[in-house]
Amino acid sequence: MLLEVSGTVRVPGDKSISHRALLFAAFSPGASRVRYILPSADVHSSAAVMRALGVRVPELSEDFVVHGVSASALVQPSSDLDCGNSGTTTRLAAGIVAGRAGISARFIGDASLSKRPMQRIARPLSAMGARVESERGEGLPMWVHGASLAPIEWRSEHASAQIKSAILLAAVSSGVGATVYEPSRSRDHTERMLSARGVSVSVTDGGVSITGNATLHAADVDVPADPSSAAFFVALAGLAARGELTLPDVCLNPTRTGGFEILSRMGVRVTMQDERTVGGELLGTIVAAPGSLRGTRVHGDEVPRAIDEMPLIACVAARAEGETRITDASELRVKESDRISAVVSNLRNIGVDAEELPDGMVIRGGTQPLRGSVNTHGDHRLAMAFGILAALPGNQISIDDRECVAVSFPNFWELLASSTSVASSAPRTSSESSASGATAAHSGHAHSPQHTPLVIAIDGPAASGKSSTAQWVAKRLGVRHVDSGAFYRALTAAALRSGVAAEQWTEASVLSHAPRIARALTERSVVPTLDGDPADTELRGNAVTQEVSRVARMSAVREWVNDQVRAAGASTDVVVDGRDIGTAVFPNAPLKVFLIADPWERARRRLVQRLERRPTDAEIAAETEALVARDAKDATQSRPDPSAITIDTTTLTQEEQVERIVALAEVVRRSLSPPR
């Protein structure tokens, strides 16, 4: 079987420019129009921080206006500045706060962000006169106490757009001059945006300078498509057997195109068309097609220009002829994860010959099928890079946290599914060509009247791994996975949108929003839409997460969700997991599986996922006690449906679990197929 790509892929707005468009609009006096911003979790963090500092930032949409204020009009925040997973938000906003005497702010973030080093900005901001204090180590939480800053000439040890931007924004915020020298040139979106807003910017090969008393003016921004997001689909096209992908309106800023140049050098056919300058940024259309892939060397000055693409390049190298060597990339160790260690260990997990270096990695390509599981460490770029490898026919790769892509590319999985198809190695006929975008034999599509739906119900106690196993089984079988939890989240989001305090919700009031929710079929899933929108980022956001358990406890709501899941199983082949799936929801499912495991092993698995390290025996013992207590309270989960096939996963890998269920499902599917 061969992978074929086709169509036009419109990737989201550039994340770096989206952050800056929002932050600059917020403290430039006047009305700034922002269009095509990336509405990701990270950019929402920037919006929330500027609101906390007193700026009226509206809800993010495709086209909105920010009524900015001068830096002197920013206010003392009444609570912590929660930056979520966004290092850009933290470092750039810290620069803005540092330049405002009388403002003190405590910056916090999620577990991943809290581990990232902040001393790189703390040192220059402190040298300018601000006071920066980390509560533990070099990460978050971090206090920034603003001051009337002194001008600075700073020589950075790292080529980092975030460090450079923090210094420049601190200088603008306080009305002083600044010069930043770098060992090599980093992204220059901040310089371009400052210049577009009336600041005198001087750029040389070694650094950038601004003069004191700079005044920002309001300016409109059209955010181009993100080149780092586009790179995933350029790589996908390069790995395919045939076809091409077109990616319009991509930012082609020279500091951002290093990834395309490396992929082209490796053999991907990449062409740029319709190049033009809009709002100070060069953009154009990229057309990518398959090529004969070969290894390469990545080092020196090209690393900063492709730093975000390095996990992807490593994954492409796994399918390239020869050796790929990446060096001078120690910056990768302080990203959302240690991307050197994480990429190499995950490549090894799926069968790739990979070696970790102090400042990079070595990958030796091959053609053997890749199989195994990937631990993303919550890192969106790892999830997407290995997602590209997982899309290749013959590979069997499971990804532990697919949802983490929401911080930069919320609809990545949908676009990946819609731009690929699997074809035989034989040439297509003209009739097959006319249906190139569809997988006619794909059993996950809507049923013909003669087809009996295939429903695979996977149940099991807490921490038995049923959800991740179900997703992998669905992919292997080419059917859809039903995320029943997403329907609870959709109702919760609808209730939150109503503005009624959660403490006042009743079953009736929550269910009154049910008509706003519909089922939608994607290539891989059955998902809810809210007011016609998938609203993925909102459904996975903190506000919904905090209140969804309140909604899930309502018996009438549970029955409504069960009805949605039943309806999904009546319309398309599905794999469904969750509580009561094989008893109350699908009692007549043709295949019911109940996963069990020793409580100690279940506790160990849960802690590994939660802690991202090897748990101690004491920790496992405490977690085991909690799981046993939960099992005792849940009679349904402790007694599987009598017709279910029980699989003890204590000594099985997830791949072995999936293989067993897929084999059972294939037998059932043949029995359901109508006679010819």
97 to 43, 90, 119, 186, 412: CA distances (angstroms): 18, 10, 16, 23, 34
The residues that bridge with 33 in the sheet, in sequence order, are: 65
Full DSSP string of 527-545: EEEETTB--HHHHTSHHHH
Q: For residue 489, give the 3-state DSSP assignment.
A: helix
Residue 595: both structure tokens together? 């996963």
* Separation of alpha carbons 97 and 108, rounded Å: 14
> Which residues does residue 324 pair with via DSSP β-bridges, in sequence order?
363
d(CA 31, CA 279): 16
Q: Are strands 63-68 and 480-482 parallel, antiparallel or unpaired?
A: unpaired
Task: Give 231: exposed, middle or buried? Use CB within 10 Å, 0-12, 13-18, 19+.
Answer: buried
Q: Which residues pair with 362 in a beta bridge?
A: 325, 355
Count the neighbouring beta carbons within 10 Å of the beta carbon of residue 558. 19
Catalytic option among 188, 308, 573, 641: 308
Taking a C-beta distance cutoff of 8 angstroms, is the pair 420, 245 a contact? no
CB 520, CB 567: distance < 8 Å: no
Please answer whether residues 43 and 37 qualify as being in contact, where contact means their C-beta atoms are separated by less than 8 angstroms: yes
What does DSSP assign to residue 150?
P
Angle, helix 15-26 to helix 87-98, in steps of 10 degrees: 30
Beta-carbon contacts of residue 335 (< 8 Å; ≥ 6 apart):
116, 307, 379, 381
One-letter amino acid identity for 495?
A
- Cis status of the peptide bond prior to 449, with omega within 30 of 0: no
Q: Is 110 a catalytic residue?
A: no
Residue with tokens 């020298």, as numbered in its chain: 181
DSSP 333-394: GGSSS-HHHHHHHHHHHTT-EEEEETTEEEEE---SPPEEEE--TT-HHHHHHHHHHHTSTT
CA distances from 266 to 286, 293, 380 (A): 17, 5, 24
CA distance 68 to 218: 8
- Other CB atoms within a 10 A radius of the CB of residue 433 amount to 9
Residue type at 569?
A: G
- How far apart are the C-alpha atoms of 558 and 636, rounded to whole Å? 15
Distance separating alpha carbons of residues 321 and 318, to the nearest angstrom: 8
410: left (phi over 0), alpha (psi -120 to 50) or beta: alpha
Distance CA 626, CA 490 (A): 29
Q: State the amino acid at position 562 in one-letter form.
A: N
CA distances from 28 to 67, 193, 215 (A): 8, 11, 8
The residues, ordered by sequence, that sit 6+ positions from 473 with a Cβ below 8 Å of its Cβ are 456, 458, 575, 658, 661, 662, 665
What's the CA angle centered on 9, arms 3 and 10, to 5 degrees?
A: 160
Place of tokens 């069960």: 562
Q: Which residues are catalytic?
A: 308
